[in-house]
A and B are shown apart, each in its own frame.
Chain A
Amino acid sequence: MEGFLPQAIVFIIAAVVFVPIAKRLGMGSVLGYLIAGIVIGPYLLGFLNKGEDVMHQAEFGVVMMLFLIGLELEPKNLWRMKNLILQVGLTQVLVTTLLLFGIGIGLGFSWQISIAVGLSMSLSSTAIVLQSLKEKNQMESQVGKLSFGVLLMQDIAVIPILAILPLLVVAGNLPESAGIESHGLIENFPGYIQTLLIFGAIGLVVLLGRFGFGPLLNWVSKTHLRELFTASALLIVVGITFLMELVGLSPALGTFLAGVILANSPYKHALESDLDPFKGLLLGLFFMAVGATINFTLIAENTSTILGATVLIILLKTGIILGIGKYKKLSIPENLSFAVGLSQVGEFSFVTYAFALQLGILSQGNSDYLMAITALSMTMTPILMVLMDKFLLPILNKRKAIEREMDEIDIKHKVILVGFSHFGSTLGRFLRANGVEATVLDFDPDQVDFLRKMGFKVYYGDATRLDLLHAAGAEEATILISAIHDPETNMKLVEICKENFPKLEIMIRSKNRTDAYELMEKGVKHIYREHLDTSIRMGQDVLKLLGFRSHTVHRLGLNFREYDESALAILSKYKNDEKKYISAVKLQIEQQEALLSGELSRKFSLNDHAWDSESLKEAANKN
């Protein structure tokens, strides 16, 4: 199948068919995409013949994913992870490489091949592991953090690995190969300039992240054109990728760095929600491409060798990571998820095989075998994970139920506060004063900047966008507060929340009575008319100044508010019945009359017989 549109149709149909099935069977989306890829690949339906090409394009999804992950990690948190990254990550990479090297030598391969293969295979698949962790909501768990640490170290390790491979050629006197793509445009410069340029590029990313992107996004967001904001977000990621490729660094690492720097920015959630669909689609494409690259003819011809090698690799990596997990005092179920999750060979090894092939370290035949093993391992680990989650872990967890519960502490807040103007900020301050931190969203870029300077954690974004609400953690939150003054926005927000987050308790500020009616009709239970409390309080103070007793006034105020709220509920029903007959204006007048006639209100004041001894006195005097 040639041409963009037919190809796109094939990919999308495959995804739409297989991923939901996989999800329904509890297998996770990664496996669904892999299966979809196998089905449309050259050995089944034959729609897709060059999986490798697509894969290369789709790797951009991995780059985006790392940017998004960076966004979730603030620099200080990253710094806190340095021991984790160095100890756990480095141990994993070095031990795996050494063992594979030993095995390679033992099997009679040249030491160059053994090193190249060892290094490549020590890496795991960032795409698969992180996607699965996110899907299972385990990024914040101990397992999630450890896995992330290992993956990050592996991404860093890419840089030295790419540097080492050409040295093997020199050392082994193998024929020098020309045109090494991966080192970008600067390969012709002498070494020290290359180094300088690399540091310069990293410095540029840091500087832009600190001082460039914020003002850019602020400027763009003032136009209130969503597509421009999305375009800017893409510009950031694509730009950094380009820069990194130019100097021969891992684009994933570069965008990750930019993400970390932007993690403190008010645009964090907006960026996340804008880039998330792109990332999702590209990753899906990437996984399908991996599925399509599996060479089933080769596997069929050498079943025992390839299957054996794949199982050996998975067992070896699992064993090493289990050891690390044990040292890190993970419980048995945790350790199993950690180890099996990371046991596949990563997508990056496709790059190193190609590189090694160019350098002449690997022969075409070897490379084919390795590709098959890698793709197979990437397909097998998600299956293993499913089997483990479904059958093994429930048994183990039953015994460890109490210990497990403490693991997954989520950093997303239970309360989301939308709108941080005067109303919202007072509310937010009150909550904060009582130890309740809310995730705050606001749509005014200047306001957000100002509040950030004042030390509030406010995020920029339009809360009526579902993806932003997702990014802000609406799924895990218990309460969503809207302190927005615009009734239409509120109404939209209510609709979105009711539809997508039925469990979320919604509390809405409303402008007036009419506004409140509509919210009531939508089934909102917590409605706060913005002027009700203040005007009653002011009235209370008037009464006090007129000589009323404070406590009496306090009770009168409370009673009046209760009366007014219940009158609202009653009148809102009445409104529905008469809707067809009375125009809105007439209705308004009628309601005002009902309220102002004072019949009801006077009654309730006069009916205050609390601590009244009149009747007692009458009774006493009769005797």
Chain B
Amino acid sequence: MRKILVLFAHPKFEHSAANQALIHAITGLENVEIRDLYELYPEFNISIQKEQEVLFEAEVVIWQHPFYWYSCPPLLKQWIDLVLEFGWAYGPGGVYLKNKYILNAITSGGTKETYGLEGRNRFTIKELLQPFEQTAKLCLMNYLPAFHLAGTHRISQENLAVSAAKYREFLIQLRDSDVLTEESLAEYYL
């Protein structure tokens, strides 16, 4: 059973039905810790030591956030800037994150179709998330494909409930499965 750390960043969680459903679905799962960054650090004063301690304990890390302007909300970027220190997360002696799994779990207003060569966003999610992938790589972590809940602008209550349940299944798989690869997880993505 792996330890999962969900680093959740949403500046206006109270207005996000999609993220509320997702977070609700995974709350209370054994060995899953959710850190609500905007609630913990409303003034952006991130405790680096605390974050590193929690991070070190985890085996799977999930950056869960809305996909704003092809990236994450500013507090999560702040978290990356501050917590992934040189000499701790990367560089000489920076081995504390080695071999951990990491991935993004994102929500987007636009549908899956808009992300691709033909869509109006022109690039795939995998391409757009490359900065995160490379960040993980530099920290010697295994970067897994993103969990992507798309089309939240038009999603129905029922569909949202189904997606949330699948997110829960996805996390249980991350926690319990013997092997974690893109292939082994394929059926659990949306």
Taking CB atoms, residues of chain A closer than 8 Å to B75 are 551
Q: In the docked arrangement, what's the CA distance between A14 and B68, Å? A: 80
Taking CB atoms, residues of chain A closer than 8 Å to B43 are 554
B74 CB to nearest A CB, Å: 11
A279 CB to nearest B CB, Å: 52
The answer to whether B42 touches A616, judged by C-beta atoms less than 8 angstroms apart, is no
Q: In the docked arrangement, what's the CA distance between A438 and B3, Å? A: 51
Taking CB atoms, residues of chain B closer than 8 Å to A554 are 42-43
B45 CB to nearest A CB, Å: 10
Of B7-15, B21-29, B127-135, B172-180, the segment with at least 4 beta carbons within 8 Å of chain A is: B7-15
Q: Does B145 contact A (CB under 8 A)?
A: no
Taking CB atoms, residues of chain B closer than 8 Å to A617 are 109, 153-154
The answer to whether A613 touches B109, judged by C-beta atoms less than 8 angstroms apart, is yes
B72 CB to nearest A CB, Å: 13
Taking CB atoms, residues of chain A closer than 8 Å to B16 are 613
Q: Does A316 contact B (CB under 8 A)?
A: no
Q: In the docked arrangement, what's the CA distance between A617 and B15, Å? A: 12
Q: Does A549 contact B (CB under 8 A)?
A: yes
Taking CB atoms, residues of chain A closer than 8 Å to B11 are 551-552, 610-611
**Which among A552, A610, A620 is the interface contact of B109 at CB below 8 angstroms?**
A620
The answer to whether B39 touches A549, judged by C-beta atoms less than 8 angstroms apart, is yes
The answer to whether A621 touches B153, judged by C-beta atoms less than 8 angstroms apart, is yes
Taking CB atoms, residues of chain A closer than 8 Å to B39 are 549-551
Taking CB atoms, residues of chain B closer than 8 Å to A616 are 109, 153
Taking CB atoms, residues of chain A closer than 8 Å to B90 are none
**Which among A549, A613, A621 is the interface contact of B13 at CB below 8 angstroms?**
A549
Q: In the docked arrangement, what's the CA distance between A617 and B68, Å? A: 15
The answer to whether A553 touches B42, judged by C-beta atoms less than 8 angstroms apart, is yes
Closest to A613 in B: B109
The answer to whether A551 touches B38, judged by C-beta atoms less than 8 angstroms apart, is yes
The answer to whether B154 touches A611, judged by C-beta atoms less than 8 angstroms apart, is no
A41 CB to nearest B CB, Å: 72
Closest to A618 in B: B153
The answer to whether B42 touches A550, judged by C-beta atoms less than 8 angstroms apart, is yes
Q: In the docked arrangement, what's the CA distance between A613 and B151, Å? A: 12
Q: Does A612 contact B (CB under 8 A)?
A: yes
Q: In the docked arrangement, what's the CA distance between A430 and B187, Å? A: 56
Closest to B39 in A: A550
Q: In the docked arrangement, what's the CA distance between A617 and B12, Å? A: 16
The answer to whether A621 touches B154, judged by C-beta atoms less than 8 angstroms apart, is yes
Tell which of A610, A611, A616 has the most Cβ of chain B within 10 Å: A611
The answer to whether B154 touches A612, judged by C-beta atoms less than 8 angstroms apart, is no
B110 CB to nearest A CB, Å: 8
Taking CB atoms, residues of chain A closer than 8 Å to B109 are 613, 616-617, 620
Taking CB atoms, residues of chain B closer than 8 Å to A621 are 153-154
Q: In the docked arrangement, what's the CA distance between A557 and B25, Å? A: 32
Interface string of B53-68 (1 = CB under 8 A from A): 0000000000000001
Closest to B38 in A: A551
Interface size counted on chain B using CB atoms at 8 A:
18
**What DSSP secondary structure best describes chain A's contact surface?**
helix
Interface size counted on chain A using CB atoms at 8 A:
15
Chain B 30-54 residues near chain A, CB threshold 8 A:
38-43
**Which among A549, A550, A611, A620 is the interface contact of B153 at CB below 8 angstroms?**
A620
B119 CB to nearest A CB, Å: 14
B113 CB to nearest A CB, Å: 13
**What DSSP secondary structure best describes chain B's contact surface?**
loop
Known interface pairs A554-B43, A616-B109, A620-B109; A549-B154 also in contact (CB < 8 Å): no
B103 CB to nearest A CB, Å: 23
Q: In the docked arrangement, what's the CA distance between A550 and B11, Å? A: 9
Chain A 589-614 residues near chain B, CB threshold 8 A:
610-613
Closest to B11 in A: A611
Taking CB atoms, residues of chain B closer than 8 Å to A551 are 11, 38-39, 41-42, 75
Chain B 80-95 residues near chain A, CB threshold 8 A:
none
The answer to whether B153 touches A612, judged by C-beta atoms less than 8 angstroms apart, is no
The answer to whether B12 touches A550, judged by C-beta atoms less than 8 angstroms apart, is no
Closest to B73 in A: A611
Q: In the docked arrangement, what's the CA distance between A621 and B41, Å? A: 34
Known interface pairs A549-B39, A551-B39, A554-B42; A613-B153 also in contact (CB < 8 Å): yes
Chain B 88-130 residues near chain A, CB threshold 8 A:
109
Q: In the docked arrangement, what's the CA distance between A612 and B38, Å? A: 16
The answer to whether B15 touches A611, judged by C-beta atoms less than 8 angstroms apart, is yes
B130 CB to nearest A CB, Å: 24
Tell which of A550, A612, A621 has the most Cβ of chain B within 10 Å: A550
**Which among B15, B38, B152, B154 is the interface contact of A550 at CB below 8 angstroms?**
B38
Closest to A614 in B: B15
Q: In the docked arrangement, what's the CA distance between A617 and B16, Å? A: 12
A551 CB to nearest B CB, Å: 4
A20 CB to nearest B CB, Å: 56
Q: In the docked arrangement, what's the CA distance between A610 and B14, Å? A: 12
B44 CB to nearest A CB, Å: 9
The answer to whether B12 touches A552, judged by C-beta atoms less than 8 angstroms apart, is yes
Closest to A617 in B: B153
Taking CB atoms, residues of chain A closer than 8 Å to B12 are 549, 552, 610-612
Taking CB atoms, residues of chain A closer than 8 Å to B41 are 551
Taking CB atoms, residues of chain B closer than 8 Å to A613 are 15-16, 109, 152-153
A285 CB to nearest B CB, Å: 62
Taking CB atoms, residues of chain B closer than 8 Å to A553 are 42
**Which among B14, B68, B152 is the interface contact of A552 at CB below 8 angstroms?**
B14
B37 CB to nearest A CB, Å: 9
B68 CB to nearest A CB, Å: 8
Closest to B109 in A: A616
B171 CB to nearest A CB, Å: 23
B104 CB to nearest A CB, Å: 18
A560 CB to nearest B CB, Å: 15
A189 CB to nearest B CB, Å: 74
Q: In the docked arrangement, what's the CA distance between A613 and B40, Å? A: 23
Closest to B10 in A: A611
Taking CB atoms, residues of chain B closer than 8 Å to A610 are 11-12
Q: In the docked arrangement, what's the CA distance between A616 and B109, Å? A: 8
Taking CB atoms, residues of chain B closer than 8 Å to A620 are 109, 153-154
Q: In the docked arrangement, what's the CA distance between A548 and B14, Å? A: 8
Closest to A558 in B: B43
Closest to A554 in B: B42
Q: In the docked arrangement, what's the CA distance between A548 and B11, Å? A: 12
Taking CB atoms, residues of chain B closer than 8 Å to A549 are 12-14, 38-39, 42
Q: In the docked arrangement, what's the CA distance between A550 and B40, Å? A: 8
Q: In the docked arrangement, what's the CA distance between A550 and B12, Å? A: 10
A236 CB to nearest B CB, Å: 52
Q: In the docked arrangement, what's the CA distance between A554 and B43, Å? A: 7
14 further A-B contacts with Cβ under 8 Å, apart from A612-B12, A612-B15, A617-B154, are A549-B42, A550-B40, A551-B38, A551-B39, A551-B42, A551-B75, A552-B12, A611-B11, A611-B12, A611-B15, A613-B16, A620-B109, A620-B154, A621-B154
**Cross-chain pairs A/B with CB under 8 angstroms, 28 sampled:** A548-B14, A549-B12, A549-B38, A549-B39, A549-B42, A550-B42, A551-B38, A551-B39, A551-B41, A551-B42, A552-B11, A552-B12, A552-B42, A553-B42, A554-B42, A611-B11, A611-B15, A612-B15, A613-B15, A613-B16, A613-B109, A613-B152, A616-B109, A617-B109, A617-B153, A617-B154, A620-B153, A620-B154
The 5 closest A-B pairs by CB, nearest first: A550-B42, A620-B153, A554-B42, A611-B12, A551-B42
